[in-house]
Amino acid sequence: MVHGISDSLLSSTILAWDTDGFVDGKKKKILVATAMNTAMFRNPITQRNLKLLNELMGGADGWVEELQTISKGLACGDVGQGAMATVDTIVAAIEEKLGLAAKDSRDEE
């Protein structure tokens, strides 16, 4: 993603993304929720690419937002950093970006 390689449907979609709102006047963010084992997460190449992602495409005016990995039991059997953010965290981030208020049971009373 950081290097502009387009060898899959997802990476082609990202390269075609309207990063500055030129097409329809609306700047839309891509939420990135990574998942990997701890060794992959700690790899210097991975860390460099995550840093580049945030420097080049992230920030308040950027078009990419990285949802941080969490530490827990991983699919490989290890316990450590690299697990994808929780479903609740991902849903909350999507709702925030779309301007949707999460329903509270008190709202229905």
Exposed (0-12), middle (13-18) or buried (19+): which is 106, by Cβ within 10 Å?
Answer: exposed
Q: What gap in Å lies between CA 79 and CA 9, rounded to an integer?
A: 32
CB within 8 A of 61, min separation 6: which ones? none
CB-based contact 1:30 (threshold 8 Å)? no
The verdict on whether 23 is a catalytic residue reads no
Q: What gap in Å lies between CA 104 and CA 67, rounded to an integer?
A: 23
Q: Which residue among the candidates 15, 76, 79, 100 is catalytic per the annotation? A: 76
Active site residues: 76
